[in-house]
Structure 1
Amino acid sequence: MDPNARKVMPYLVGCALPAGASLAWTHPSPEPGADPQGTWAGEAGLCPEWSTQAPSQACLERVSACVLARNNPFGRRVELSLRGQHASNPGAFSLGLQTRPLSHDPASSQPVASLVSCTSTQAGASRNCGWSVDYIGACSPGTQVRVGAGGPLSASCSGAALGSTGSGQAVLRVCGSIASCDDASKLSLSATCGPSVPPVGTFTCPASGYFNVMTALSVSSAQVSATVQVAPPASYRLSEKDVFPVREGAYYGNILDAKALAIEIRVQGGHPVAVDVNTHQVLGPASGASVSGSVYRKMYSCYDAKWLYGAAEATHRVCALPSSGSNCAAQVTGPCLEATQPTFPGSMCTTEDGPQVVGDGDYEGCRSSASELWLNPVTVFLHAPCDVVGPYRNASLCKRLP
């Protein structure tokens, strides 16, 4: 099986099938000693019927939009909030009421070591194993925030409890972002009461304005049962909508239409070459082929009107060679919805909040530059403006209007 196909299929299956579902596969010619069996896991559930029957056009559009939304030129893992509409499955795009911290390091995409079980019994809050994620909170940068799992709310170590611990002695760790962390990158949590009291402490709200809490028992061989609470005015257990407030734009079209590809790969003389679909001209070796514009002639991207340089942000998001607008995964069409020009061609979409999930901010009824209407877009929300394009180190790409 082509290695590039193996990279794409987890995203395709993840978008199509729901969590808990999977698709088993067998490699037709595995390497010696390699396991020929594999499994791709479902996640979003945007086309569950594909596991038993041919997908509908609407299914193909939703899956295409989902796959493109998860594309980025750096191969980095970036958490997104995907929003849209699914007529036969209204819950497919429902927003989580509470959000768990990321279990990986955003900078390296590697799992956070502290979330792995300890291989031997270890004690104390500084160990990097045997921890569990709790939830994400928000606070005003520079302010003092009090967090507890049963310790007293008052700094005088008396009065009502802040949170609770079911059994054993729990320990807490606070991280200064929406991602869990190891001991070296945690925030300083000043404990104000004795070690025999359930955990409680105070930390300084980081510049990001976000934090998350991790829990463990002081001895790693046991499981923690703790309810964490944070004192007002800080917020805790943030919803998906609160954690992902930056609307990036919408993706729509169909990447699975073989007749709408700019190139196709053929084997000539035992080597893969790129061939222009329209002219049948051989463009050269497949590995070095360059396509002006989008490889997928019926895949589109529009951008949120609050980007200061929306076309540039969108082009850098979907094109492997953004400076020349080449090798793109979609055609950048324009602003999704511009308040001063709310109809096509000033705006590519008809609404910025579809009726199925009121208030989620999903663009609906989006058009191509040629005015072809697509009814199954997926709208992407980010946690922060530079999450996807930050590695370009071009600050202008991340600038947004108030």
Structure 2
Amino acid sequence: MPPAQPLTPQPATPHLPTRCPQPPAESGGAALPAFTARAASVGGSPVREILALTERPGVISFAGGLPAPELFDAEGLRAAYDAAFAASAARALQYSTTEGAPELREAVAARATARGLATHPDDVLITTGSQQALSLVTATLVGPGDVVLVENPTYLAALQCFGLAGARVVPVPCDEEGLLPDALEELVARERPKLLYTVPTFQNPTGRTLPAARRAAVAEIAFRLGLWLVEDDPYGELRYEGADVPWVAAHPGAADRTALLGSFSKIMAPGLRLGWLRAPAALRRAAVVTKQAADLHTSTVDQLAAAHYLRSSDLDAHVARVRTAYGERRDALLAGLGEALPAGSTWNRPEGGMFIWARLPEGRDATALLKTAVAHDVAFVPGAPFYATTPDPRTLRLSFTTHTPAEIAEGLHRLSAAAAATA
């Protein structure tokens, strides 16, 4: 027998996820009943798969929209948890109401009001991350065969959510500033959709921001033609330049038909899994019932700790520090893209958020580039999975928040080598 040869570690090959497999039959037993059609038809998240690949030591990842862990206010949050237990350990560890802890709802309402949208605590439902808020609204409004309109491209997990609901997802044409109101009006009249899902501020994946005039037009179309609006705003407080733009929900005609989703993940810590839903009374009540069937209520201790933190710490000052750091990281990524990407590539300059959207020149494919990039210990997310229908294979999303400017520079050097290797 020949001597065993040493194994050379090979970088994992990124791939787009397969559809959910059917349950296997146990040996000697009868075949199990099949999964539902919706579970079998919705693919996993390539972003999550790429994140798993990039957990290898030394990989510089522009893939995930992850906050920088060194910027978490760990001491302030630790003190907030201590305060929650000191105030009442029995309450912190007990079941709570589905709507959420009153003091956290009050804090959310106060912050929303300060941002220009008058909000009462009773308008707010606390959720387990804003992703749950989207799931609750979808479960309440969308059934199999219903039409949902989305930006093109759009947030990947929203496509998964609507796919699980059995919706028919129709993309709204967009330009570099976001969705086109004329195209939206035409689609609403023709398709009679249940809702429009939009991330109008520092959109995921493109980083673009919908101008105020277009937001007003969206609100007017929804009012005139009868349309629910789901406005997702996880990034709105991460602005590095330019002026704030009012929420769509704040425009005339939108108040009784907009579900506004917010999150503490990007400004406090994603591990808390705390989000919120501001919605008209009837929709909010239906979402409460749906949440009761999902998890009864969001973690009591996390809610109370967050409420203590908001009372005792200056979250706005913390967010200002985060903005400064992320703005520097955005600039570092922008400064090096010209040398890192193939000649003829284009990209945008977002005023905030976490992402830069790029397009490779004609004939190049971002998924093929990713395979080589991972071998060079750098990663990004191909843009194709973010499209509801026909994707643009040349597009890619790059996140700049997780790494320091020096690490970003090294990552771009590696990306340049990968791009040269695939030329």
Answer whether TM exceeds 0.5 for this pair. Answer: no
More strand by share: 1
Based on CA coordinates, which of the two structures has the bigger radius of gyration? 1
The bucket for the TM-score relative to the shorter chain is under 0.3
TM-score scaled by length of structure 2: 0.25
Compare the two structures and name the one with the higher helix fraction. 2
Question: Which of 1 and 2 has higher RCO (CA within 8 Å, sep 6+)?
Answer: 2
